Amino acid sequence: MAYRILLTGGGSGGHVFPLIAVANALKEKAQQNGQELELLILGDGRFIEKAAIDSSIPFKRILTGKLRRYFSLLTIIDIFKIPIGFFQSLWHMFWFMPDVIFAKGGYASLAPSIIGRSYFIPLFIHESDSIPGLANRILGKLAKTVFISFQSAEKYFKAGKTVLIGNPLRKELIGQNKEKAIEAFQLNPGNKTILVLGGSQGAQKINDIILQSLVLVVKKFQLIHQCGETQYNYIKNEADKLIKEGEGKYADDIKTNYRLFPFLEIEQLGLAYAAADILISRSGGGSIFEISAAGKPVILIPITDSSADHQLANAREFSRFGAVVLEEQNLTPHILINQIESLLNEGNYAKISANIKTFAKIDAADKIADTLITDN
């Protein structure tokens, strides 16, 4: 009889990508061991559905409502989603009846995990951030084991439950060839390259500062900019305006040195990490561990309204390994460019890169998969 594992979570890429990384590691382990394995992902949204389909993992959608700690009209709508999602989860749980559940956090993981525990199914959860979200704080009380990425998250869970393991990474992101990457993005190998990541949903403040800095940046560097699908048309139009205004001055620099993408698929993202000399990013737990695995100096710009200010806490913990933290209120084009130039200084670059790399834990997905697949 097949060993069944239910994986649940969803929302942003920070929840989805680690979930898929663990699912792929589980499939590899089962194949190596000659073990019959059935996986099912329960979650909400097109983003997780696409990721599951791309990885050939069965997926069932459930409705989820967000438990906001502030007033919003969306909360009224979400109140009606919660009981529907609960009964959807109950239905899928009854027919799949897993041997173990792995939850990545987010509100989509609540109903499946709670229902699973009512059947006495072992629950394992993973927390990517240094300050856990509300869903994982609730599920931590029910979980057999809480995998954590940051040591500082340990204090939020019952003593003895946590295992410091890092963040599950997609293997396609690690160890791509730099020459191949430079060729793929049609870059000049003699120039330094900056990679700007706005997350799966884009980052307005980062996009704004890049537009404000664009003319100055492309005079000195090449720029790969992942701006988010919702903001792509706006950013492209603004860049086109700069090109038109800069004919005969800086237009050619933008055309030659600027690469704009709404979203980087996994193969593209792996190549972008390889091509880059410096990274600029938000400081979600998933992003930080991908960056550390790439071993490149990074400028982190935490989002100001993250839950419990967890992005700033993540960034500060990573800064002990050489990451630069710039808070949004202190961000100007000249400060950004000065930080880029400082990180690229030959005397600093190799040391910072080596320190950044020591933060990485590239085997997290494999270790979680080993635990899940042997818990019987």
Q: What is the DSSP string of 15-76?
A: HHHHHHHHHHHHHHHHHHHT--EEEEEEE-SHHHHHHHHHTT--EEE-------SS--HHHH
Q: Facing residues of 222 across strands?
A: 193
Query: Which parts are annotated binding residues for UDP-N-acetyl-alpha-D-glucosamine?
Result: 12-14, 170, 200, 266, 311
Cα torsion 169, 173, 176, 179: sign: negative
Query: Which parts are annotated binding residues?
Result: 12-14, 170, 200, 266, 311
* Bridge pairing between strands 100-103 and 162-164: unpaired
CA distances from 370 to 22, 41, 220 (A): 10, 18, 46
297 in Cβ contact with 349 (< 8 Å): yes
Distance CA 346, CA 277 (A): 12
Question: Tokens 């931590």 map to which residue?
Answer: 140
Phi-psi region of 155 (alpha: psi -120 to 50; beta: other; left: phi over 0): alpha
